[in-house]
Amino acid sequence: MANNYSEFKTKMDKTLNVLKEELGAIRAGRANPHLLDKLTVDYYGAPTHISQLANINVPEARQIVIQPWDAKILNDIVKAIQMSDLGLNPNNDGKAIRLIFPPLTEERRIDLTKEVKKLGERDKVAIRQIRRDAIEHFKKLEKAKEITEDDLKDAEKDVQKFTDEYIEKVDKVVEGKIAEIMEV
């Protein structure tokens, strides 16, 4: 019976990982190279991630330095950053691009925490939907006489138990990001 849970746990893991990736892309006042993960540049006709075209370093807490291996794409990277929703103004010195992260205002911190909470709530809803799907799956098995009524009750308890664990994990990830955002 436990192997029946793996499919649902895998879905919950994916939901949690997506949340972590999305929260990694939210600017929290300090330099984080993951902010650039979703940005692509047209490189010889193919959209290519900046991390595949350059070295990305964080020399200081509020600065990212991007050093492309091909100097011809400097301006393309600058354009991609300016077109993004990062709200950063890249400085191009001809060899590298510097991104300076200004400290967040209190108002912006509050907006970001609301956004983080909204993402966390969305993922909790997704996890609860996976729980519903799992319980439905076991009810169908019981109806088809593949498992007993007692097995169904045990399955429902187990599904609820690991659902609660994943909800708790989401809460911890959200709390961690909020603490990072509110840190001055």
Where in the chain do CATH 1.10.132.20 domains reside?
Answer: 2-24+105-182
Structure tokens at 136: 């439905």
Beta bridge partners of 43: 46
Q: Output the pLDDT for position 3.
A: 59
Architecture of domain 33-100: 2-Layer Sandwich (3.30)
Where in the chain do CATH 3.30.1360.40 domains reside?
Answer: 33-100
Mean per-residue pLDDT pooled into runs of 10, the chain (184 residues): 76 91 76 79 85 87 87 87 80 87 82 91 95 92 89 92 94 91 76
- Which among 12, 36, 18, 10 is positioned nearest to 119, based on CA atoms? 18
Contact 53, 77 (CB under 8 A): yes
- Which among 118, 111, 121, 80 is positioned nearest to 97, based on CA atoms? 80
- Which among 184, 174, 167, 159 is positioned nearest to 5, based on CA atoms? 159
Residue 161, φ and ψ in degrees, nearest 5: -65, -50
CATH number of 2-24+105-182: 1.10.132.20
The whole model's pTM is what?
0.71
